[in-house]
Amino acid sequence: MNKVKVGFFSFTEITDPREHRSYNEWHQLDHMPEQFPLPGIAFGQRWVSTPACRAARAVSGPRLDPIHYVTLYLMTDPIEETLREFYALGRHLHEVDRFHQHRRALLSGPFHVIGAAAAPRVLISSEAVPYRPNRGAYVQVGGEPALDRWCAVPGVAGAWAFADDERRITVAWLDDAPLDVAGAFSRSPVEDVELAGPFETIVPWEWDWFG
């Protein structure tokens, strides 16, 4: 049984191109650490769509085309209480002026975990995949999850699928450089997909992708 029940996503655009460094400094050193003491937060990670990753997207529909970053928090039971505390913390950080002002979430909210798989070569369970070090992720918003097919792609350690009432999100965690893996996904069917593309793992203090 997977203890993680919900993935809370934020697909984020930085509205001032001069603010990428300050945004990453805030999120990685201030905002994200404040989430982990909440009892229902199991893990969290962020990825960046560098200019090269953006150029390698297989699909980039108008709604999500501007995004630069994806954040994913993994949440456990009790979900309702966890979400209440998560939102309350966000309001508190706004109130004390600890929220970045040059950001816009174009898609944000909780998505239930509906599937998980691991590539056989990595040996670990599918439930453990997000906690394994990765070099990036391949993210698809919309479409049908194909976890077994994704896990057969060289460089993929595993993949999870999430859903809310409107759409599905599939995330593959990557052992290889995202740009090296992206081509295998680009040949996959992309019907009813809003976004599909590679993202790099964010390394602390290495925030210079956008100059």
The reply to whether 97 falls in a domain is yes
Beta-carbon count within 10 A of 144 CB:
12
pLDDT digits (tens, 9 = 90+) for 93-116: 999 999 999 999 999 999 999 999
Q: Do 74 and 3 meet the contact criterion of CB atoms below 8 Å apart?
A: no
Domain-embedded: residue 195? yes
**168 lies in a domain?**
yes
Q: Give the pLDDT confidence score for residue 187 in this predicted structure.
A: 63
Q: Does 207 reside within a domain?
A: no
CATH value at residue 60:
3.30.70.100
Tracing tokens 């859903």 back to the chain, one arrives at 163
Domain count across the chain:
1
pLDDT in tens, 30-55: 999 999 999 999 999 999 999 999 99
State percent of the chain over pLDDT 70.
98
* Position 206 in a domain: no
Furthest CA-CA distance within the chain? 47
**Structural domain containing residue 92:** 4-201
211 lies in some domain:
no
Q: Give exposure, 75-102, as e/b (b: 16+ Cβ within 10 Å).
A: bbeeeeebbebbeebeeebeeeeeebee
Euclidean distance between CA atoms 161 and 140, whole angstroms: 9
